[in-house]
């Protein structure tokens, strides 16, 4: 009986891990609008969530992304370690303007994609998402992140008029 119970527990754990690694995350999401284009983004606001990012994901729906949030603006750098998805990233300044957009190659640890100024947010989407919609440097983001989704003490983070 113990052997069967152990096997069932192991199977459930492996299936849950496989589902989490390959598909959409279950994290909190917000709607982000950039230059009139909408994207539903998971929030990565804790150090652990920001470190993990989209690592291990094999797919990302066309209208989904990940929004990295920090309590203050600073120069940021990303890499694609353990990330098999080709992604694009938009670095966003404290005022919600796009600083720069980079196309990121999957599974590359040797290349670092950097913000061209202090960034408070970074938005990852499928590679080409920004380019296909004509989004470029200087465009403004609109969003509202409720205070209960931010791990630091701050009122809701609002940029633009969502």
Reply yes or no on whether the pLDDT at 159 is more than 90. no
HSE of 52, CA atoms in CB hemisphere, 13 A: 14
In the block, residue with structure tokens 């938009």: 90
pTM for the full model? 0.81
Model confidence over 63-104: pLDDT tens digits? 999 999 999 999 999 999 999 999 999 999 988 999 999 999
- Please give the pLDDT value at position 148: 86
Mean pLDDT for 119-123 is 97
Model confidence over 36-49: pLDDT tens digits? 899 999 999 999 99
- Please give the pLDDT value at position 58: 94
Percent of the chain with pLDDT over 70: 83
Lowest mean pLDDT among 8-17, 112-121, 149-158: 8-17
Domain range summary for the chain, segments of one domain joined by +: 2-159
Pair of tokens at residue 12: 């459930």
- Please give the pLDDT value at position 7: 37
C-alpha 33/C-alpha 95 separation (Å) is 14
Q: Which helix (H) or strand (E) holds 31?
A: strand 29-34
Contacts of 74 (CB under 8 A, 6+ apart): 118, 119
Q: Give the mean pLDDT of the chain.
A: 85
The model's confidence at residue 24, banded by pLDDT at 50, 70 and 90, is low
Pair of tokens at residue 138: 């200087």
- Please give the pLDDT value at position 46: 95
Mean pLDDT for 139-153 is 87
- Please give the pLDDT value at position 25: 57
Reply yes or no on whether the pLDDT at 6 is more than 90. no
Task: Determine the CATH number of domain 2-159.
Answer: 2.60.120.1140
């Amino acid at each position: 009986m113990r052997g069967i119970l152990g096997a069932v527990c192991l199977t459930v754990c492996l299936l849950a891990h496989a589902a989490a690694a390959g598909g959409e995350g279950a994290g909190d999401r917000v709607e982000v609008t950039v230059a009139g284009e909408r994207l539903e983004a998971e929030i990565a606001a804790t150090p652990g969530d920001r470190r993990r990012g989209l690592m291990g994901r094999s797919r990302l729906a066309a209208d989904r992304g990940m929004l990295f949030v920090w309590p203050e603006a600073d120069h940021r750098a990303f890499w694609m370690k353990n990330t098999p998805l080709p992604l694009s990233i938009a670095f966003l300044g404290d005022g919600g303007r796009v600083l720069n957009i980079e196309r990121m190659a999957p599974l590359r640890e040797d290349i670092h994609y950097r913000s061209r100024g202090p960034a408070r947010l970074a938005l990852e989407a499928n590679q080409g998402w920004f380019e296909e919609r004509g989004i470029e440097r200087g465009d403004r983001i609109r969003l509202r992140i409720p205070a209960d989704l931010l791990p630091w003490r701050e009122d809701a983070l609002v940029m633009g008029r969502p």
